[in-house]
């Protein structure tokens, strides 16, 4: 059983997939499984292995799915004594289960293969992101035009959710050539669970986009997800400096930073 779990873990890394590894780290008295028993829980609720079956396992699976959403490990403690008090069993013992979310490297999708998009691809790859590039102009979406991406999607923006799975570990960076492109493509992206959606351009350009999105019936709570103008204010001018500004904002939000100077 454990061998199959270890094989599955290797496949997760190879295929850039997510799952949560649940391990019984302590068992006292009579319990359905002993210490070191393992279960792997996939994002769709499928499992390999077991930590005991029944109501106990149902609760651990639910916690594992939450861990995949928030990326936070947790230590779960269960008494197996009195179901009437909410215990998940009547074996008489106690056990602890450690739930560890195993998440792939975050995916950063650059939409727009111009000068800034090219710089963002280069910097994001250096920072350890998996990187995809998309542009509705095929000539701007090739390894020759923009080297370094892991995947290329020469399609209109609104088709991206059908090209690959946008997850809470996906960061969308729109370095597009104009508001018209954003107006047409953003509604589909705003319905995704992406961790971040940023749009390049001035405040005036974004105001124009917001007006058009509202006219299309896009709810304000979705529009408010967007970071625009994109990036931190560092007076960036060149494509490379703008890329630093964008990635700095993403890292700040991902790690819970403030963006303030660390000088006292």
106: which residues sit within 8 A by CB, 6+ positions away? 129, 130, 169, 170, 171, 195, 254
> How much is the mean pLDDT over the chain?
90
Q: For the sheet containing 94-102, what is the strand order?
A: 47-49, 38-42, 19-28, 94-102, 74-79
Q: How many CB atoms lie within 10 A of CB 252?
A: 14
Tokens 């699976």 sit on residue: 61
Is the Cβ–Cβ distance between 32 and 54 less than 8 Å?
yes
Q: Which two tokens stand for residue 84?
A: 């009437």
Q: What is the pLDDT of residue 79?
A: 79
In order of start, what are the domains of the chain with their CATH numbers? 2-102 (no CATH), 107-255 (3.40.50.720)
Average confidence (pLDDT) over 122-145:
97
Q: What is the pLDDT of residue 34?
A: 77
User: Is 197 in a helix, a strand, or coil?
Assistant: strand
Tens digits of residue pLDDT in 151-184? 999 999 999 999 988 988 899 999 999 999 999 9
DSSP for 11-52?
Answer: HHHHHT--EEEEEEEEEESS-SS-TT-EEEEETTS-EEE-SS
Band (27; pLDDT cuts 50, 70, 90): confident
Rounded CA separation 190/193 (Å): 8
Tens digits of residue pLDDT in 46-98? 999 988 778 788 889 999 999 998 889 999 988 765 555 554 555 667 888 99
């Amino acid at each position: 059983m454990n061998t199959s779990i270890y094989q599955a873990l290797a496949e997760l890394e190879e295929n850039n997939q997510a799952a949560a590894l649940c391990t019984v780290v302590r068992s006292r008295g009579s319990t359905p499984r002993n210490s070191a028993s393992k279960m792997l829980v996939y994002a769709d609720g499928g499992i390999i292995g077991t930590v005991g079956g029944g109501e106990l396992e149902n609760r651990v699976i639910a916690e594992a799915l939450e861990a995949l959403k928030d990326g936070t490990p947790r230590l779960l403690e269960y008494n197996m004594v009195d179901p009437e008090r909410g215990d998940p069993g009547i074996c008489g013992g106690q056990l602890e289960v450690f739930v560890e979310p195993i998440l792939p490297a975050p995916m950063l999708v650059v939409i727009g293969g111009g000068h800034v998009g090219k710089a963002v691809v280069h910097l994001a790859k250096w920072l350890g992101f998996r990187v995809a590039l998309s542009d509705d102009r095929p000539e701007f979406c090739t390894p020759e035009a923009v080297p370094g991406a892991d995947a290329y999607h020469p399609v209109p923006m609104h088709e991206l959710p059908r090209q690959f799975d946008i997850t809470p570990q996906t960061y969308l960076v729109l370095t597009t050539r104009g508001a018209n492109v954003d107006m047409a493509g953003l509604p589909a992206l705003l319905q995704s669970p992406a961790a971040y959606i940023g749009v390049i351009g001035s405040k005036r350009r974004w105001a124009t986009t917001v007006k058009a999105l509202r006219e299309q019936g896009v709810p304000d709570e979705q529009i408010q997800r967007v970071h625009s103008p994109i990036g931190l204010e560092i007076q960036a001018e060149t494509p490379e400096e703008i890329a630093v500004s964008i990635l700095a904002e993403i890292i700040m939000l991902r790690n819970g930073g403030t963006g303030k100077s660390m000088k006292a």
